[in-house]
Amino acid sequence: MSEAVTHAEHHTSTGVDNRMLMMWIFLASECLFFGSLISTYLIYQGESLVGPLPGELLNIPITSASTFVLLMSSVTMVLAVYGAQHKEFLMMKLNLLATIILGTIFLGFQVVEFTEFVHHGLLLSTNQFGSSFYLLTGLHGTHVGIGVIYLISLLIGSSRRNGLGKDAGLNLEIAGLYWHFVDIVWIVIFTIIYLIPS
């Protein structure tokens, strides 16, 4: 009886778990947030009067490699969720660790890129490209960093005696939603900044 009540408390009238629904609502607000940043970048694209300019700095092969790393982290995240849902906890832990490592490698690529851009004289205040580029990619990198911390907390939690509890599959699925969202946003950013010429 108490188990049925507890189970019902976590569901909305739509039948969707309220934690999952809250993540969807949060991601919808994040779509608006990143949509405004991307729109701002597009509006001011090509209006920088002083250099360095995107054509002088952007290294598409290196950024393509970092994009591949981030996309592969989505694959390992799917496998981690699968492992949690099917009670294959070693598979879940290994793929969660792989996702964390791949996310950290992506952040390393971003640090190298930012360092190189600063070395070439592009600062947040240098020109329109610098301010919109650092704001957009920097906030995305912050979201990746938060995602990595989130996944680390789940990995640590899975090492407890009772693991992530009976809702392990749901907990990983919610984390996976966030992680896939961050990946999709990067695909849009990568396409707009790196692949579409100004």
Q: What is the pLDDT along the chain (198 residues), one digit of tens a residue?
A: 444 444 445 656 667 788 999 999 999 999 999 999 999 999 988 887 788 888 889 999 999 999 999 999 999 999 999 999 998 989 999 999 999 999 999 999 999 999 999 999 999 989 989 999 999 999 999 999 999 999 999 999 888 866 777 788 899 999 999 999 999 999 999 999 999 865
Output DSSP code: residue 198: -
Taking every pair of Cα atoms in the chain, the longest distance, rounded to a whole number of angstroms, is 69
Domain residue ranges in the chain: 18-45+59-195
CATH number belonging to domain 18-45+59-195: 1.20.120.80
Asked if 135 and 128 count as a contact pair (C-beta separation under 8 A), the reply is no
Task: Find the angle CA(108)-CA(158)-CA(79) to the nearest 5 degrees.
Answer: 65
Asked if 81 and 177 count as a contact pair (C-beta separation under 8 A), the reply is no
